[in-house]
Amino acid sequence: MIRESSRFSRLFDSLNYVFLTAFALLCLAPMVHIFAVSLSGRAPATAGFVSFFPIDFTLENYNEVMGSRTFLRSFNISVIRVLTGTSLNMALIILTAYPLSKTPRAFKGRTLFIWFFVFAMLFHGGLIPTFLVVRSLGLLNTLGALILPNALPIFSMILMMNFFRNVPKELEESALIDGASHWRVLWHIYLPLSLPAIATLTLLSAVNHWNAWFDALIYMTDTANYPMQTYLRSVVVELDLTNVGIDPRDLQRLSDRAIRGAQIIVATVPILVVYPFLQRYFISGIRLGAVKE
């Protein structure tokens, strides 16, 4: 280890620590501000007196949000979407990646199938034709519109396939010679050895489903079917308070700005809960999958 002792070096270190701290705080500042607003009373929040600490501390804004039926309904829809959508994604990723991870000798037609999927990843029909197809299949206003069109995320499937290819072949060969089928090999050999990759892709898929909002905006013509993020859009972006499910009388004692802040924070909490895992798995996943050098 090099010991830095020159005066310049120590100055460099101090400036570096100061700069990085300032940068990180600056990244965080907008969120802390909204958090403080969401915990503030009506007068200071409306007048814009709140900076990074709540004024007239109150939990009323959160009470209001958690008591809103519309909000809870959209929250439920999002939870259902994450559970079903992520399960479907993972099932299809694994089932598709396994055959494609074989050699063209062990799986005839592999090259053709690979190009079938890769071309679909590289070239898109585009927003309008996709919309028309989903509509013609009668999926508008159903959960299917949110989880079926991207049931197989192709890039994730390719990462999984690359991971499967690194599973030692000897295990599989001896199992096949002993008469095990490919189903058993996949279930008893590949899956247990691929848990880190599966965890990574599961988290990625769950976060994507939780954060998705545009598909519901176009496929749900009835706002009662909106998941959390799409609902949040009508509240915090379009500032449409007619559809919020909040009693107008309550707006006499609470600030709409603080209520919006509370909704933003509640929508963020699930991400914060899985964030430690995201950091651990996802970041190592990026290294192992996407950047092979």
Q: Which 241-280 residues touch another protein, going by CB under 8 A? A: 257, 260-261, 263-264, 267-268, 271, 275, 278-279
Binding segment (CB under 8 A) for another protein, from list 67-75, 92-100, 192-200, 248-256:
92-100
Of the candidates 94, 240, 108, the one whose C-alpha atom is nearest the C-alpha of residue 153 is 94
Q: Which amino acid is at 27?
A: C
Q: Which amino acid is at 119?
A: F
* Shortest distance, position 69 Cβ to another protein, whole Å: 20
- Answer for which of 12, 53, 187, 277 binds another protein (CB under 8 A) is 12
Kindly give the residue spans of alpha helices, DSSP state H, lying in 48-143: 60-66, 69-100, 110-122, 127-136
Q: Are 46 and 257 in contact (CB under 8 A)?
A: yes
92 versus 249: smaller Cβ distance to another protein: 92
7 versus 249: smaller Cβ distance to another protein: 7
84 versus 162: smaller Cβ distance to another protein: 162
* Shortest distance, position 116 Cβ to another protein, whole Å: 7
Q: Collect all residues with Cβ–Cβ distance below 8 Å to 143 and sequence separation of at least 6.
A: 80, 81, 84
48 versus 249: smaller Cβ distance to another protein: 48
136 versus 252: smaller Cβ distance to another protein: 136
Query: Using CB under 8 A as the criterion, what x/- string covers residues 41-60 for binding another protein?
Result: -------x--x---------
Q: Does 211 bind another protein (CB under 8 A)?
A: yes
Grouping H, G, I as helix, E, B as strand and the rest as coil, residue 105 is coil
Q: Does 2 bind another protein (CB under 8 A)?
A: yes
Query: Using CB under 8 A as the criterion, what x/- string covers residues 110-149 for binding another protein?
Result: ---xx-xxx-x-xxxxxxxxxxxxxxxx----------xx
Backbone angles phi, psi at 194, to 5 degrees: -110, 15
Q: Does 286 bind another protein (CB under 8 A)?
A: yes
Residue 198, CA distances (Å) to 36, 163, 171, 215, 284 in order: 37, 10, 20, 25, 12
Q: Are 134 and 140 in contact (CB under 8 A)?
A: yes
159 versus 249: smaller Cβ distance to another protein: 159
Q: Collect all residues with Cβ–Cβ distance below 8 Å to 165 and sequence separation of at least 6.
A: 101
